[in-house]
Chains A and B, each alone.
Chain A
Amino acid sequence: MNFEDELSAPVWDDLAHANREPLDEIAKEFRPATAEKTANKDGEGVTWESGHTEEDEMAETKNDTPVVRNTNEDLLASLAPAEDSLASLTLNSGQEQPGKRDPLFGENDKSPLKIENESVVTGVSSSSSNQKRQLKPQRLFTTARSRRHPLTEEQKKGLFMDPLATDAKKDEGEEFVDESLDYEPIAHGNGESILQQVDAPLFRLSPRKLPAIPPKNGSSDKVSEFISEEETPLNQFRIEVLDPVKVGDITSAHVEYSIRTHAQHLDPADFQVKRRYRDFRWLYRQLQNNHWGKIIPPPPEKQAVGRFKDDFIENRRAQMEKMLTRISQDPTLQKDPDLIMFLKSPDFGQDSKIRENQTRSNASGDSNDISEIHISEITLLGEEDAIDVLKTGGLDESHKSFMNLSFSSLPKYNEPDSFFIEQRQSAELLEEQLRQLYKSLELVDVQKSELASVTDEFVQSIKTLEELEVSKKASDVLSSFAIVHQRIKESLQRSSLQEALTLGTTIDEYTRSLGSIRAVFNQRAKVGYFLMIVESDLVKKQSQLEKANRNIKSAPERAEQVAKDITKLQKRYSKIKEKWQEIGETIRQELERHDQEKMRDFRNNMEIYLEAAIETQKECIELWETFYENNL
């Protein structure tokens, strides 16, 4: 690697920055458009990808320059605002942009697509300009960097960034490389499957457009808009989980469920496979890995004891069916290749291992707690870099070994956005409350069944008294009395079953999906943590470089080496940062939607619960009234 880098670095260095950097930024903005394209036209998609890999290399090399200049940034920064304001004044016409893009993308990109995007961007940004400020750092950087490039590029930037341009000064110093690498991780991630590519842009589009959706205002409109945008390709799945069968000998006993799927858009439309509980958990982990920030409908909890009891199995079957149904109703998740594989693969054991290995999802290393997560380096950094990282033992591993020798403490991730902190807290609180509620409901259920059984005994003793036939009248009364109690007991059992089915399962599912929400927050925190690590590494390296530069005696190769490392780290850093932000955006939307959906469901079940209670009550009154009329 190093050798290659060394060779390529000087060559590209001269050429690169003029054209490439702006291009990356544009690419970021227009990724959705390009992605859609690839989805539409296979041929184009291929060429586009190949273009990518090239670009990848270019970007790596190009990164060297900004690092070197980093020391001069303070000076440059003072100049930045002036230029930016100019840029914002001179808004571009559509003509310039294609000109810039041509060399990089070739025919793939066409102006009309881009214009479409622009209009969307401007529309949204004007509506939520306040929120956009939270994302300032990103934009400010680009402006800072762009100073060095010819004005035309800056004009282009101005087109996208104008609301922020005035604030440019403030945040400049913090970060230096931002967008240059944005494109690459996506390219790698998408390289895994075309279906994923189709999905990804849909989500990545939104972070740009809907930054920091305010949680309390009538954001439901926006969300519904957003959903409707996506809903067009929604495919209908009909999934049934059936026939739980206990298989295996005493050591490996487990329950297998048949999953029967009917989906019109797939070929063949009907298929049936056998899966066990563990596989459902695998699917959950895999989807979690494939879609960071998405709230994946969770599988039922693990249970060690009483796994083979009939009602438990039935309960679990229902929960898993619900999970699959919900997954298949999600426009993004339903296209996930792993889901399709899960539903179709006849040799799941093998396929799942392959997929897991490809994505490094660690899906089978599944912990009990659904909120615990694993961040796959491949998804995070792209394949090449990830392999590199994994060789040294993972992101934080390398860091640890490094830093433990030197005396700096491990960086700690602090969530900068209060939105996430609040949401996380309220989710935890709610989970606590729901658990409490579930526990009380369970207690009520237990008490009710106890009550039913004691009522049974009560009825029996009444019957024995009746059988004495002390007097005709008394016996008659007693026998109807016993019957009334019997029927009330039945109604009690029915109502408690009803409660368990409505409120109970809803709360249970809700609680578990809150676990899933926590997982999403964990993902953000973990990625944020990696971000911190890489950042601190980067700072270290830069100081090393400075030292090397100052010290003339040191070998130039050494400085070069350090510079290369810095480039790599920068690239990594920007990739992670991009991911981190993406996750944040996805979480915002997901939370919004999840809240709406779940709460509606919850209230609906409250109503059903209430109606059932009322009906039971009426039945009860009727029984007593009839008894009174007939016997007393």
Chain B
Amino acid sequence: MTSAIPYDPFDDIDNNPFSEPAVESAPGTHDADEARDNEAENQPQLQKGDEERSVTAPGEDQDTTLQEQLENLVPERKNTKFTLVVKVTGLERVGSLANKKDNPAIIFDASTNLPTFRKPKHRNLKKTMSEFQNLFKYLNAALPETFVPSLPAPSTNYGIQNNEDYQKTQSAMQEWFDRICGDPLVLRCEELAFFIESDFNTYTPIGKVKSTVTGLRRKTLKQLAPPFDECLELAQFRPLVKSIHYNCHEIQLKLYRLSKLRKMLSQDENGVGQTFTEMLTDSSQIHTKLYKRFGKTLTAVGDIDSVVATLDMATLYDGLAWIVQDTYVVKEALTNRHFLMRELLQAQQNTKFRQDQARRLRVKRDVNPLKVDEAIRALKTATTAEHELTLKLQRTTANMLFEKQRWLEWYSHALTAAIREYTLRKIEYERKKLTLLERIKSDVRSADLKGGLSRLGRGASTSSTTGPSQTPQGDSWTGNSRYRHFQPGVLQTEFDNSLQEEQDSTHPTDPEEQRALDARNAAALLGTSTF
């Protein structure tokens, strides 16, 4: 309580003499400061009006004005006249293996109406990945108000030098450009123009970045409890992003283990197939061919497992990898905001301290006018700095609230896309596996007339359905006629060649004919015949 008493009189005094010049002076300095980031000409007025509102409006009809208020804080959001359209047209992997893998060149076209660009259209621009990384680093540091999208991985788990990798990397880059172009703050950044208009492999960031908190200091500060955040939404957002980050990372690790296991499993399956191939169980060599084919099929099935393992990595793992990257960037951006808040708190304290000093001087009658002057000046700068920071924080908060929505949308989109791709690939290869297995079914079936399923009384019915159970018309095991992800391609596999030499019997080419007996027919047959 004792500490609370001295503050009251100060507050009273605070209203009158010293705060007013600070308010007036703030827009000017702020303007100068912001000019580098923002090209909008009408900014000073806007900021002024913005401040007036923020001073006058806190109490009344907050809900309706909140959105407007936020938009006023980030005027770039209102103005959507500037656009940049980038179209990624190609990808080039040249040079050493490491260079191919980590530093491909991306070829793209750009068209824009931004005044920062020298000409509106650019064709066949070529930039290496490391240039992109430089740009990203710069943007991330220069624009603390926004979540700069992280770059996708330079190569995928498909392995370089194949079509899938090419397409995937290209589309990921396209997506990155789309996200960049969707952010008005990034658009207005001159550096983007510098980047696009620089020659191939020459870009380095031109503007200087204010150093943010880095290194050990950053680490230590992160350990402290975050300062009080009046914006509850963002206060909750950081832990959320953080746990998304860790969870996705966890899933990635598990997926990695899964795919490694699956690869090992496929090796063992190959081993089984191999032994079958070499088996000479019969002293009479009648069935050697059967074992050979069976073994080869098992080997091929094992190979498919290995392909599936790679695809798991290439689809879901890579998808998650980008999310992990992005969550990290977002998290750090939010941490920077915390630092900003700390800075503001310090500035506020500093202002208070200066006020205190000035007041003390005023109490003494016989004071040196020089000293008074100095104190007043110090108080002025402190107050200005505080206002600047307040404004910056408000602006950051406002922009991040927008960005948060955008980011969440992107997150669920990216996650779903990764899972979708994963699922489609899974379906494709599981179907291929089924094709392979079904191809030798009839051979194994006919090896022994009495045996296997015929012991269960299924011999007669299954012997007639030796064709593939999956056709463009649907799958024989289900009555559901919804759209299935059947492509004729799944009836052939990459491993057909290895099996081909064994395959003198014609394998069914006309699926329509084979479909004579589907699951329902079979059920009907079984139902009537036996009882």
A: residues with CB less than 8 A from B are: 215-216, 423, 426, 429-430, 433-434, 436-437, 440-441, 443-444, 447-448, 450-451, 454-455, 457-458, 461-462, 464-465, 468, 470-471, 473-474, 477-478, 481, 591, 595, 599-600, 602-608, 610-611, 613-614, 617-618, 620-622, 624-625, 627-629, 632
A620: nearest chain-B partner, CB-CB: B430
Given A602-B281, A604-B455, check contact A465 B268 (CB 8 Å).
Answer: no
B269 in contact with A451 (CB, 8 Å):
no
A474 in contact with B412 (CB, 8 Å):
yes
Q: Please tell me which one of the listed residues A423, A433, A477 contacts residue B278 in the complex, with CB atoms under 8 A apart.
A: A433
B281 in contact with A624 (CB, 8 Å):
no
Q: Please tell me which one of the listed residues B265, B282, B419 contacts residue A481 in the complex, with CB atoms under 8 A apart.
A: B419
Determine how close the nearest CB of chain A comes to the CB of B464; give it in whole angstroms: 15
Q: Please tell me which one of the listed residues A437, A462, A471, A599 contacts residue B272 in the complex, with CB atoms under 8 A apart.
A: A437
Determine how close the nearest CB of chain A comes to the CB of B389; give it in whole angstroms: 31
B451 in contact with A604 (CB, 8 Å):
yes
Question: Which 3 A-B pairs have CB atoms at the shortest separation, nearest pair first?
Answer: A607-B452, A474-B412, A604-B451
- Residue B478 is within 8 A (CB to CB) of chain A in the complex: yes
List residues of chain B with CB within 8 A of the CB of A477: 415-416, 419
Given A444-B269, A464-B247, check contact A478 B261 (CB 8 Å).
Answer: no
Given A437-B272, A599-B282, check contact A473 B430 (CB 8 Å).
Answer: no
- Residue B342 is within 8 A (CB to CB) of chain A in the complex: no
Q: Please tell me which one of the listed residues A437, A450, A625 contacts residue B279 in the complex, with CB atoms under 8 A apart.
A: A437
Determine how close the nearest CB of chain B comes to the CB of A526; give it in whole angstroms: 24
13 contacts between A and B (CB under 8 A): A433-B278, A443-B268, A450-B261, A470-B408, A470-B411, A595-B282, A600-B451, A603-B448, A608-B453, A614-B441, A617-B433, A618-B434, A618-B477
List residues of chain B with CB within 8 A of the CB of A458: 251, 254-255, 258
Q: Please tell me which one of the listed residues A604, A620, A621 contacts residue B448 in the complex, with CB atoms under 8 A apart.
A: A604
List residues of chain B with CB within 8 A of the CB of A471: 408-409, 411-412
A456: nearest chain-B partner, CB-CB: B254
Q: Please tell me which one of the listed residues A426, A457, A605, A629 contacts residue B283 in the complex, with CB atoms under 8 A apart.
A: A426
B452 in contact with A604 (CB, 8 Å):
yes
A595 in contact with B424 (CB, 8 Å):
no
Cα distance, A278 to B434, chains bound together (Å): 45
A632 in contact with B427 (CB, 8 Å):
no
Q: Please tell me which one of the listed residues B281, B294, B484 contacts residue A625 in the complex, with CB atoms under 8 A apart.
A: B484
Given A440-B268, A454-B257, A477-B415, check contact A624 B427 (CB 8 Å).
Answer: yes
List residues of chain B with CB within 8 A of the CB of A464: 247, 250
Given A461-B250, A604-B452, check contact A433 B272 (CB 8 Å).
Answer: no
- Residue B482 is within 8 A (CB to CB) of chain A in the complex: yes
Q: Which residues between 450 and 487 of chain B lie within 8 Å of chain A, taking CB atoms? A: 451-453, 455, 469-470, 475, 477-478, 482-485
B412 in contact with A613 (CB, 8 Å):
no
Q: Which residues between 305 and 336 of chain B lie within 8 Å of chain A, taking CB atoms? A: none
Given A599-B287, A622-B478, check contact A447 B281 (CB 8 Å).
Answer: no
Given A448-B265, A610-B444, check contact A603 B452 (CB 8 Å).
Answer: yes
A474 in contact with B415 (CB, 8 Å):
yes
List residues of chain A with CB within 8 A of the CB of B264: 447
User: 1/0 per position for B224-262, CB-CB distance to A under 8 A?
Assistant: 000000000000000010011001101100110110011
- Residue B438 is within 8 A (CB to CB) of chain A in the complex: yes
List residues of chain A with CB within 8 A of the CB of B469: 614, 618
* Chain B residue total in the interface (Cβ 8 A): 70
Given A454-B261, A622-B478, check contact A606 B280 (CB 8 Å).
Answer: no
Cα distance, A624 to B434, chains bound together (Å): 14
List residues of chain B with CB within 8 A of the CB of A465: 244, 247-248, 250-251
Cα distance, A380 to B360, chains bound together (Å): 125
Given A436-B275, A604-B455, A621-B427, check contact A610 B281 (CB 8 Å).
Answer: no
A611 in contact with B452 (CB, 8 Å):
yes
List residues of chain B with CB within 8 A of the CB of A473: 412, 416
Cα distance, A613 to B434, chains bound together (Å): 8
Cα distance, A621 to B475, chains bound together (Å): 10
- Residue B162 is within 8 A (CB to CB) of chain A in the complex: no
B451: nearest chain-A partner, CB-CB: A604
Q: Please tell me which one of the listed residues B244, B257, B272, B290 contacts residue A444 in the complex, with CB atoms under 8 A apart.
A: B272
A621: nearest chain-B partner, CB-CB: B430
Given A441-B272, A474-B412, A600-B448, check contact A618 B475 (CB 8 Å).
Answer: yes
Q: Please tell me which one of the listed residues B409, B440, B452 contacts residue A608 in the complex, with CB atoms under 8 A apart.
A: B452
Cα distance, A440 to B270, chains bound together (Å): 9
Cα distance, A337 to B139, chains bound together (Å): 92
List residues of chain B with CB within 8 A of the CB of A444: 265, 268-269, 271-272
Q: Please tell me which one of the listed residues A436, A437, A607, A614 contacts residue B434 in the complex, with CB atoms under 8 A apart.
A: A614
Determine how close the nearest CB of chain B comes to the CB of A380; give it in whole angstroms: 29
Cα distance, A434 to B440, chains bound together (Å): 22
List residues of chain B with CB within 8 A of the CB of A610: 294, 437, 440-441, 444
B469: nearest chain-A partner, CB-CB: A618
B419 in contact with A440 (CB, 8 Å):
no
- Residue B122 is within 8 A (CB to CB) of chain A in the complex: no
Q: Please tell me which one of the listed residues A215, A470, A606 contacts residue B240 in the complex, with CB atoms under 8 A apart.
A: A470
- Residue B79 is within 8 A (CB to CB) of chain A in the complex: no
Determine how close the nearest CB of chain B comes to the CB of A260; give it in whole angstroms: 25
List residues of chain A with CB within 8 A of the CB of B408: 470-471
A442: nearest chain-B partner, CB-CB: B268
A617 in contact with B430 (CB, 8 Å):
yes
Cα distance, A81 to B415, chains bound together (Å): 96
A468 in contact with B247 (CB, 8 Å):
yes
B265: nearest chain-A partner, CB-CB: A447
Q: Which residues between 406 and 446 of chain B lie within 8 Å of chain A, taking CB atoms? A: 408-409, 411-412, 415-416, 419-420, 423-424, 426-427, 430-431, 433-434, 437-438, 440-441, 444-445
- Residue B40 is within 8 A (CB to CB) of chain A in the complex: no
List residues of chain A with CB within 8 A of the CB of B525: none
List residues of chain A with CB within 8 A of the CB of B258: 451, 454-455, 458
B274: nearest chain-A partner, CB-CB: A440
Q: With contacts A614-B438, A618-B477, A622-B477 known, what are 4 further pairs, Cβ within 8 A?
A: A437-B275, A461-B254, A625-B485, A627-B423
B243: nearest chain-A partner, CB-CB: A468
Q: Please tell me which one of the listed residues B274, B276, B283, B451 contacts residue A215 in the complex, with CB atoms under 8 A apart.
A: B283
A606: nearest chain-B partner, CB-CB: B444
- Residue B505 is within 8 A (CB to CB) of chain A in the complex: no
Given A440-B268, A458-B255, check contact A603 B248 (CB 8 Å).
Answer: no
Given A429-B280, A433-B278, A627-B423, check contact A603 B451 (CB 8 Å).
Answer: yes
List residues of chain A with CB within 8 A of the CB of B440: 610
Cα distance, A250 to B44, chains bound together (Å): 91
Q: Please tell me which one of the listed residues B251, B431, B445, B483 contacts residue A621 in the complex, with CB atoms under 8 A apart.
A: B431
Q: Indicate the member of B265, B424, B475 with the most A CB atoms within 10 Å.
A: B265
Cα distance, A443 to B415, chains bound together (Å): 34
Q: Please tell me which one of the listed residues B287, B290, B416, B431 contacts residue A474 in the complex, with CB atoms under 8 A apart.
A: B416
List residues of chain B with CB within 8 A of the CB of A602: 281
Given A447-B261, A471-B412, A610-B444, check contact A628 B427 (CB 8 Å).
Answer: yes
List residues of chain A with CB within 8 A of the CB of B274: 440
List residues of chain A with CB within 8 A of the CB of B214: none
Q: Indicate the member of A447, A617, A628 with the most B CB atoms within 10 Å.
A: A617
A632 in contact with B453 (CB, 8 Å):
no
Q: Which residues between 4 and 29 of chain B lie within 8 Å of chain A, taking CB atoms? A: none
Cα distance, A611 to B419, chains bound together (Å): 30
Cα distance, A433 to B275, chains bound together (Å): 7
Cα distance, A625 to B261, chains bound together (Å): 24
Given A429-B280, A458-B255, check contact A440 B272 (CB 8 Å).
Answer: yes
Determine how close the nearest CB of chain A comes to the CB of B197; give it in whole angstroms: 38
- Residue B284 is within 8 A (CB to CB) of chain A in the complex: yes
B261 in contact with A607 (CB, 8 Å):
no
- Residue B447 is within 8 A (CB to CB) of chain A in the complex: yes
Given A451-B258, A622-B477, A625-B427, check contact A437 B268 (CB 8 Å).
Answer: no
